[in-house]
Chains A and B, each alone.
Chain A
Amino acid sequence: MTSLNQTIQDVFNEPSCGKNQAKSEKERKKGCTKQLQPGGAAGGCAFDGAKIALQPITDVAHLVHGPIACEGNSWDNRGAKSSGSKLYRTGFTTDMTENDIVFGGEKHLFKAIREIVEKYAPPAVFVYETCVPAMIGDDIDAVCKRAAEKFATPCIPIHSPGFVGPKNLGNKLAGEAMLKHVIGTKEPEYTTPYDINVIGEYNLSGELWQIRPLLDELGIRILSCISGDARYEEVAWSHRAKAAMMVCSKAMINVARKMEERYGIPFFEGSFYGIEDMSDTLREIARLLVERGADGELMARTEAVITREEARAWAAIEPYKQRLSGKKVLLVTGGVKSWSVVAALQEAGMTIVGTSVKKSTREDKEKVKKLMGDDAHMFDNLAPREMYRKLKDAEADIMLSGGRSQFIALKASMPWMDINQERHVAFAGYHGMVAMVAEIDRTLANPVWQEVRRPAPWERAGDVAWQDRALDAPGHVASVRSANPPDTGRATVRGKEAA
């Protein structure tokens, strides 16, 4: 555990993150994600974070060392697409039971690795440590080391017991495991001055494939994607890339920064969402490559592709204008998406009545202001109850959000569309934005929304709807106890220290 603790503290100290650097050392030790709040609704654990970050590596056997629940619930649950091996979709687990807990699960794990290698001969086995083996003290590192020697197959321990923290931390721990055991262990057959890494892209709904053709056209090679549609060896030789793009979130920033430190690979933070953003991303990739020795004419070619693709995308959005003009949109997503999709929505004639800036950086917020003028209705993290009230009052026509808020929208009789990871339509790149506008158009036109907003026809006018009764009901949660009080210190939250 000591080494895990060190890793965690190391992850909490992230020099590339402005926010992190602005904190006092004491604050930094608590980590960068919101502390867990006992009794509040639960988010994912570190194990889940590690699993979703690495599961998209397709030819690896992902072996979860723990009782059935961990793999049972996380098995193939993200829609990350593969163009080759499907092994990542097979659920491997040691399915620990009482005996393992009494006598230790190391032998069990070792045998499981052997069976995987015998049956599947994968290029590597990733072993995920969950709460139970961490608590009973199974030495995963030792098992992996021995198994790797014995079976001549890399066995990578991923230290991600759920209790160490939330999902975001798990993403980073997964990144640490890659840095420690995988990256730099192989050499590519050849390299070119146009090799890049894409870090933090998971190829959900096949989004990476919407971007690839553009890069192909420019002659830019994705040497390694961590981890969407990746092969083990790709990740292993990713240290030979000339530049890297870190996709929107800060989930894998430690990987990008440490690769810059160790291997001198410069990186930038970019996004595939939004037309303008996509163009910036292409420009930035070209700029970094040219800086690192690619022919300068790449810039001109990139600009040409950008001009053409932008024109195409705007032209494709044009026909929707008539139907979407004046429609009001509420964005509840956060991060880069709080502004990156705004331009496309505005272009299609829609008005943004509000956008959440949860997880957004200061620059993100500036961009929101710039795009939306003074009318920017930015709001921070919203409690479901508040979100419901806002939806009721905001008089929006549609809400775009992640799946978690969908039911609030539905209860508020608000059309809703998924723009986060669980969706099944790819919205990345220029085509993706057009697809998104088309999808909004489709969603808005669905007759069910009239039905949703209509009370049962036998309800008499003037009757109070149950929703309103619920809102008026007294006694909504006045105080919340927290074992780990969040540093925001909200007035309604009472923690140990405050009490």
Chain B
Amino acid sequence: MPQDANKVKDHFELFRGEEYVDMLARKKAEFENPHPAEEVARVREWAKTEEYKDLNFSREALTINPAKACQPLGAVFAAVGFESTLPFVHGSQGCVAYYRSHFSRHFKEPTSCVSSSMTEDAAVFGGLTNMIDGLANAYAMYKPKMIAVSTTCMAEVIGDDLNAFIKTAKEKDSVPEDFDVPFAHTPAFVGSHITGYDNAMKGILEHFWDGKAKTAPKLERVANGSINFLNGFDGYAVGNLREVKRIFDMMKIDYTILGDQSDVWDTPTDGEFRMYDGGTTLEDAANAIHAKGTISMQEYCTEKTLPFIAAHGQETAAFNHPIGVEATDSFVMEVARMAGVEIPDELAKERGRLVDAIADSNAHIHGKKFAIYGDPDLAYGLAKFVMELGGEPVVVLSTNGGKAWAAKMQELFDSSPFGAGCQAYPGKDLWHMRSLLFTEKPDFLIGNTYGKYLERDTGVPLIRIGFPIFDRHHKHRYPVWGYQGGLNVLVTILDRIFEHMDATTNVPSKTDYSYDIIR
């Protein structure tokens, strides 16, 4: 018997047993009318050709394995970064369950988020009742200081008006009149999670700065010397924000992190459940209007938010997920300039250490070819760092990147011989990437967890950097920003290169003559 009640095998083992192997082979041969093995092999090989790639790229309607998520996911990301804030997604509840599990699988922490649980009658008559009841229940049960509302497609398709609904709900005493309920329309059929982040962040700032939906006077900006910081949608929020705060403290500047997710997604296990933890205080969010300027780490995550802030009279600067020496130089210098401070020697030392580490290890990365995919800013930041290390990006793909992004990528490639021959692929998916991995033959792939299927199919080793990372734990705790972060990314890349080297040399008495202790 393949399965013994006294020693039940799990899925790792069960089907490898002789009985199952035999049975499945017979089932296939006798009942499945399979294609001949040669034909399967022929097609498999054909899918690796230029011819197939061309067919693949002429796909018009079908998206296969998209490397992006939807707007409300980004909206929830932005919302949890504020003090005791409950993200409230107006629409069907299944969507919300997805966001929660998505974040929990990545950050290995619970993510509090509620839905207005719209059903069929709400779709017919509108979701107002769901908003009224939903806000009342959420307020009563979870006692938040703020409820940040966003929407799913369902609410957007029928055209629910959040502004009016929230107003009505307050009139019906769902929540107190002066309770903060910022909102943003975040239809999934427009943009991606980075658009949702942008909309939600803008919605929250608009709420505090521009008169709380006409229930309070607009704030008057009285400029001070502080700096606002926007991380953008970032899978490394926990590590990155702590690193950025460390750097800012070192530089002795006055700052406000707008949307600080670092604590809520990294709560200690000490017997106390924290539904909310840390985050930007509502007071700070309001006072952020007085700041001298705002820095966004991700240009394409803040395409609306940053102009909104600039329109209130602040200086703004946007980066593209800066990673590595040069990118971090630009970042810290801009911060220093904006805040009018000197860059401390300690930071210069950290810079020197990163340069030293790169110099120590460059030979192993130099000339290696990389395919990279991810959100537009991350893809840019990674490509720039890879080039700085002497690696050669050959494919940079972003499902949620647009034409402007592609042009910006091209500018980057043109700036160095290490970018020669690299192409940016905006709006393409991971099945496109599959073809590119076969035809462009990079040495390594950089991407999120979903890249593991590509790694399996193409044999190109995956370096996991991005969001989501589900199948490796705790990566989000380690920053990729700052000089320290650059070091982490360097090590991540190097580790994979060495692991690959070991994995291809470790067959006893066959390849292990190159299986060395010292690399």
Give me the interface of A with B, judged by CB distance under 8 Å.
75-77, 79, 81-84, 86, 89, 206, 410, 422, 424, 442-443, 445-449, 451-452, 456-459
Query: Are B518 and A79 touching (Cβ within 8 A)?
Result: yes
Residues of A with C-beta under 8 A to B343: 456, 458
A82 shortest CB reach to chain B, Å? 6
B382 shortest CB reach to chain A, Å? 15
Residues of B with C-beta under 8 A to A447: 387-390, 416, 418
Residues of A with C-beta under 8 A to B363: 442-443, 446
- With known contacts A446-B362, A452-B359, A458–B336 Cβ distance under 8 A: yes
Q: Is B37 an interface residue (CB 8 A)?
A: no
- Give Cα A185 to B434, complex, Å: 60
**A459 — nearest CB in chain B belongs to which residue?**
B348
- Give Cα A74 to B463, complex, Å: 33
Give me the interface of B with A, judged by CB distance under 8 Å.
325-326, 329, 332-333, 336, 343, 348, 351-352, 355-356, 358-360, 362-363, 366-367, 387-390, 416-418, 508-509, 512-514, 516-519
Query: Are B351 and A456 touching (Cβ within 8 A)?
Result: yes
A181 shortest CB reach to chain B, Å? 27
- Give Cα A206 to B509, complex, Å: 15
The one of A89, A206, A451 that contacts B325, using a Cβ cutoff of 8 Å: A451
The one of A84, A86, A410 that contacts B359, using a Cβ cutoff of 8 Å: A410
Query: Are A410 and B329 touching (Cβ within 8 A)?
Result: no
- Give Cα A49 to B514, complex, Å: 23
Residues of B with C-beta under 8 A to A422: 518
- Give Cα A82 to B388, complex, Å: 36
B507 shortest CB reach to chain A, Å? 11
A472 shortest CB reach to chain B, Å? 19
Query: Are A452 and B416 touching (Cβ within 8 A)?
Result: no
Query: Are A445 and B390 touching (Cβ within 8 A)?
Result: yes
Residues of B with C-beta under 8 A to A410: 356, 359-360
Query: Are A451 and B358 touching (Cβ within 8 A)?
Result: yes
Residues of A with C-beta under 8 A to B387: 447
- Give Cα A456 to B329, complex, Å: 8
Query: Are A451 and B513 touching (Cβ within 8 A)?
Result: no
Query: Are B518 and A77 touching (Cβ within 8 A)?
Result: yes
- Give Cα A424 to B513, complex, Å: 13
- With known contacts A86-B508, A422-B518, A448–B388 Cβ distance under 8 A: yes
A62 shortest CB reach to chain B, Å? 15
A193 shortest CB reach to chain B, Å? 31
16 A-B pairs (CB sep. < 8 Å): A75-B517, A79-B518, A84-B509, A410-B360, A424-B519, A445-B417, A447-B388, A447-B390, A449-B359, A452-B359, A456-B351, A456-B352, A458-B332, A458-B336, A458-B343, A458-B348
B31 shortest CB reach to chain A, Å? 47
A-B contacts at CB below 8 angstroms, number: 73
The one of B329, B360, B513, B518 that contacts A206, using a Cβ cutoff of 8 Å: B513
Query: Are A448 and B333 touching (Cβ within 8 A)?
Result: no
Among A76, A77, A89, A424, the most chain B Cβ lie within 10 Å of the Cβ of A424
Query: Are B517 and A76 touching (Cβ within 8 A)?
Result: yes
Residues of A with C-beta under 8 A to B352: 456
**B348 — nearest CB in chain A belongs to which residue?**
A456
The one of B332, B366, B389, B508 that contacts A442, using a Cβ cutoff of 8 Å: B366
- Give Cα A86 to B510, complex, Å: 11
B389 shortest CB reach to chain A, Å? 7
Residues of B with C-beta under 8 A to A83: 513
A48 shortest CB reach to chain B, Å? 15
**A85 — nearest CB in chain B belongs to which residue?**
B509
Residues of A with C-beta under 8 A to B367: 442
**A446 — nearest CB in chain B belongs to which residue?**
B390
- With known contacts A86-B508, A456-B348, A457-B333, A448–B513 Cβ distance under 8 A: no
The one of B366, B390, B512, B518 that contacts A86, using a Cβ cutoff of 8 Å: B512
Residues of B with C-beta under 8 A to A77: 517-518
Query: Are A448 and B517 touching (Cβ within 8 A)?
Result: no
- With known contacts A456-B343, A458-B336, A81–B514 Cβ distance under 8 A: yes
Residues of A with C-beta under 8 A to B358: 448, 451
Query: Are A452 and B355 touching (Cβ within 8 A)?
Result: yes
**B351 — nearest CB in chain A belongs to which residue?**
A456
Among A206, A443, A447, the most chain B Cβ lie within 10 Å of the Cβ of A447
A373 shortest CB reach to chain B, Å? 32
Among A84, A424, A458, the most chain B Cβ lie within 10 Å of the Cβ of A458
**A457 — nearest CB in chain B belongs to which residue?**
B329
Residues of A with C-beta under 8 A to B508: 86
Residues of B with C-beta under 8 A to A442: 363, 366-367
Q: Which 4 A-B pairs have the closest CB atoms?
A: A446-B390, A448-B358, A448-B362, A76-B517
B518 shortest CB reach to chain A, Å? 6
Query: Are B513 and A446 touching (Cβ within 8 A)?
Result: no
Residues of A with C-beta under 8 A to B513: 81-83, 206
**B513 — nearest CB in chain A belongs to which residue?**
A81
Among A75, A82, A446, the most chain B Cβ lie within 10 Å of the Cβ of A446
Residues of B with C-beta under 8 A to A452: 355, 359
- Give Cα A410 to B325, complex, Å: 17
Query: Are A458 and B362 touching (Cβ within 8 A)?
Result: no
Query: Are A448 and B519 touching (Cβ within 8 A)?
Result: no
The one of B333, B355, B417 that contacts A458, using a Cβ cutoff of 8 Å: B333
Residues of B with C-beta under 8 A to A457: 329, 333
Query: Are A446 and B517 touching (Cβ within 8 A)?
Result: no
Among B362, B508, B509, B514, the most chain A Cβ lie within 10 Å of the Cβ of B362
Residues of A with C-beta under 8 A to B518: 77, 79, 422
Residues of A with C-beta under 8 A to B512: 86
Residues of B with C-beta under 8 A to A76: 516-517
A464 shortest CB reach to chain B, Å? 14
Residues of B with C-beta under 8 A to A86: 508-509, 512
Residues of A with C-beta under 8 A to B356: 410
Residues of A with C-beta under 8 A to B416: 447
Residues of B with C-beta under 8 A to A458: 329, 332-333, 336, 343, 348
Instruction: Taking A86-B512, A89-B517, A446-B362 as given, write out 10 further A-B residue pairs in contact, using a Cβ cutoff of 8 Å, ordered by the A residue number.
Output: A86-B508, A410-B356, A424-B519, A445-B417, A447-B416, A447-B418, A448-B362, A451-B355, A457-B329, A459-B348
- Give Cα A452 to B389, complex, Å: 12
Query: Are B388 and A451 touching (Cβ within 8 A)?
Result: yes
Among B363, B389, B390, B416, the most chain A Cβ lie within 10 Å of the Cβ of B363
- Give Cα A109 to B435, complex, Å: 60
